Amino acid sequence: MYILLLMIIPLISCGLFWTTNKKNVINTINACGAASLLVVSIIVIWDVLRNEFVSPAFFNNIFYIDALSALILFVTVSVVFLASVFSIGYMNEELKRGVINIRRLKLYYSLLHVFVFTMILTVSTQNMGLMWIAVEATTLASAFLVGFYSNKKSIEAAWKYIIICSVGIAFAMLGTVMLYYSSVHSLGESAQGLNWQYLFQSSDRLQGSILRISFIFILVGFGTKVGLAPMHTWLPDAHSQAPSPISALLSGVLLNTAMYSIIRVMAIVNRNAGSNMFTGRLLMALGIISIGTAAVFILVQKDFKRILAYSSIEHMGIIALGLGMLSPLSVFGALYHVLNHAFTKSMLFLASGSIYLKYETKIINKVQGIFKIMPVTGTAFMLGLFAITGMPPFGIFSSELNIIMASFNGKKYIIAGLLLLFLALIFAGFAAQMFRMFYGRPLSKETHQGEINWPGTAVLVILLLIITVTGLYLPYPVNELINRARDIILLPAGG
C-alpha cells in the first residue's frame, strides 16, 4: 500500500495546484506534498531494512523495492523535499519580478511533481518494460521544465535534450526487447518474463550472447540519460538553462535513476556470465572517458552553471568506474558516491540559483563579492566547491578515496593514474574559474547586500551539514542500505 502512495501523492499534488490561484496555497500544497512523500518513503525504506525487499502481491508483483532501489529512493525523495522547499522562495522571487505569473507558477509545480512521479516509478518497479517507460516519461516531464522560461536558449536546450535522449531511449528499448527475448528463448513465455527478480534468479539459464548484446544497447541508451561521454552533449545545455531547483533534480536525482536502470541489467548479465569482465570493461571505459571529457571542458567554461553540469558528467563517470571494477570496495564506493554527489551537487545548483537571482547573470566574470553580498550562500557555495572537487572532510572525498583504493588494490594502475590526473585538472579548473567570484566588489551598484531566499538559504545550510556528516560518519540505516545494495550487485552466479 505504501508503495502505491509513493506514486499517488505526486499525482494528487499535481491536480491540487489547479484548484487555486492563491500563491500561499500553491506553496503549501507543494511543501505538504514533498513532506508527505518523504514520510511515506521512510516507512517503505524501514520495511526494506526489516525485510529483504517489499513487493506487494497485486499486479503480478510489478512493484518491487529492495536495498538498491531503496537507496536511490532515499536520495530521490530527500533531494526532492529540499528542492521543493527551495523552490518556494526561488519562484516567489521570479513571480515578484514578473518573470512568471500565477498560471506559470502552477505549471512549474505541476511539472515538478509529475517529474518526481516518473522518477519514483522508475525505482519502484521490477518490470524492465515499465522501467523503460518510466525513464522515457522522465524525459517528457523534465523537458518542459528545461524549457520553462521559453527563451531561445532554454527552448534550444529542451529540444536538444528531447532529441538526443529519445535516440538514446530507442537504443534502450531495443536492449529491453532483447532482454525479454533472452528470457523467452531460454525459459519459454512467462508472465514474469520482464520482471527483474525472475530474470536475476534465472540468469544462469538465459542466453548469454543475447544478454551481452542487450547490455550494450541498454548501456548506450540509458548511458545517454546518465550523461556518460560521448553521449553527454545534451546535459550541459539542459542543466544550465533549467530553473535552478530543476537543475538540482536533474543532476542530483535523474542521472542516478538512469544509472540505476543500467545497474539492474548489469547484475543480470554478470550473474549469467559468472564474472564482470564484459560489463566491467565497458563501464570503466565510459567512466574514464567521461571524467577526462569533463576535465577538459571545465577548464574553458565561462558560465558557472555549465561548469556544474560538466562536473555531473565527471561524477557519473566516477560512479561508472567504481561499478565497472566490481570489487566490494569499489561498488561500495560507487553507491556511496551516488549519495554524496546527489546532496553536494544539489546544494551547488541551488546556491547558484540564489546567486543568479541576486546578480542576474550566470557569467563568471560578471559575479564578484559573493562573500560580502550573500555571506551564508557564499560560504555554502565555496565549501560546496571544495566538496565537489573531493576535498576532505566532505563525503565525496571519502567515496572517491574508496574507488581510488579499489583501483590500486585491483592493480589497475593506469586507471588509478588517469583518475588522479583528471581529478587534479578538475580541481585546477574549479579553482581558476570559480573562486574569483567570492572576492572583490560587485560590478553593479544595484547589487544590494542580503540573502534573497531565506527558506532556500536554510536548505543550503542543511545540505552543507549533510555532506559534512557523510564525510565523517555514515548513519547505520544508510550504511546498511549501501551494504545490502552492494551485495545484490556482487551476488555471484548460483548465489
Measured in Å, how far apart are the chain's first and last C-alpha atoms? 30
> How confident is the model at residue 85, as a pLDDT?
96
Helix H or strand E encompassing 54: strand 53-54
Q: What is the pLDDT of residues 326-367, one digit of tens each?
A: 999 999 999 999 999 999 999 999 999 999 999 888 999 888
Round the CA-based radius of gyration of the chain to a whole number and report it: 22
Mean pLDDT confidence for 105-134:
95
For range 5-28, the mean pLDDT: 94
Inter-residue contact 273 to 196 (CB < 8 Å):
no
Is residue 495 one of the residues assigned to a domain? no
Quick check: 130 pLDDT over 80?
Answer: yes
Cell of 158: 529542451
Half-sphere exposure of 161 (CA within 13 A, CB side): 27
DSSP string, 364-433: GGG---HHHH-HHHHHHHHHHHHHHTT-TTSHHHHHHHHHHHHHHHTT-HHHHHHHHHHHHHHHHHHHHH
pLDDT tens-digit profile of 403-419?
999 999 999 999 999 99
CA distance to 111, 119, 446, per residue, from 15 (Å): 11, 18, 40
CA distance 149 to 362: 15
For residue 321, CA distances in Å to 278, 279, 334 come to: 14, 11, 8
Kindly state whether residue 430 falls inside one of the protein's structural domains: yes
Sign of CA dihedral 274, 275, 277, 279: positive
In-domain check, residue 87? yes
Cα separation, 153 vs 144, whole angstroms: 13
* Residue 64 falls inside a structural domain: yes
At 439, the pLDDT band (50, 70, 90 cuts) reads confident
pTM of the model: 0.95
Contact in structure between 14 and 40 (CB atoms under 8 Å): no
In a domain, 433, yes or no: yes
pLDDT, tens only, 208-241: 889 999 999 999 999 999 999 999 999 999 988 9
Q: Residue 72 pLDDT more than 70? A: yes
Cα of 377 vs its chain's centroid, Å: 22
Residue 82 belongs to a domain = yes
Bigger pLDDT: 56 or 295? 295
Other Cβ atoms within 10 Å of 86 Cβ, number: 28
Mean pLDDT taken over the chain: 91
Range of 267's domain?
Answer: 2-490
Q: What single letter denotes the amino acid at residue 482?
A: I
Q: What is the mean pLDDT of residues 385-389?
A: 95
Quick one: pLDDT at residue 53? 87
Who's near 188: CB < 8 A, 6+ residues apart? Answer: none
**CA atoms lying within 13 Å on the CB side of residue 214:** 25
Quickly list H helices, 204-327: 208-226, 235-241, 244-249, 255-273, 277-298, 304-325
Q: Give 56's strand partners.
A: none
Instruction: List, in sequence order, every residue forming a beta bridge with 127; answer none if it has no partner.
Output: 195
> Is residue 170 over pLDDT 50?
yes
In a domain? residue 107: yes
Model pLDDT for residues 309-335, shown as the tens digit of each residue: 999 999 999 999 999 999 999 999 999
The answer to whether position 427 is within a domain reads: yes
- Tally of structural domains, the chain: 1
Contact indicator for 65, 44 with CB cutoff of 8 Å:
yes
Task: Say how far apart CA 55 and CA 36 lie, in whole Å.
Answer: 21
Q: Are 402 and 394 in contact (CB under 8 A)?
A: no
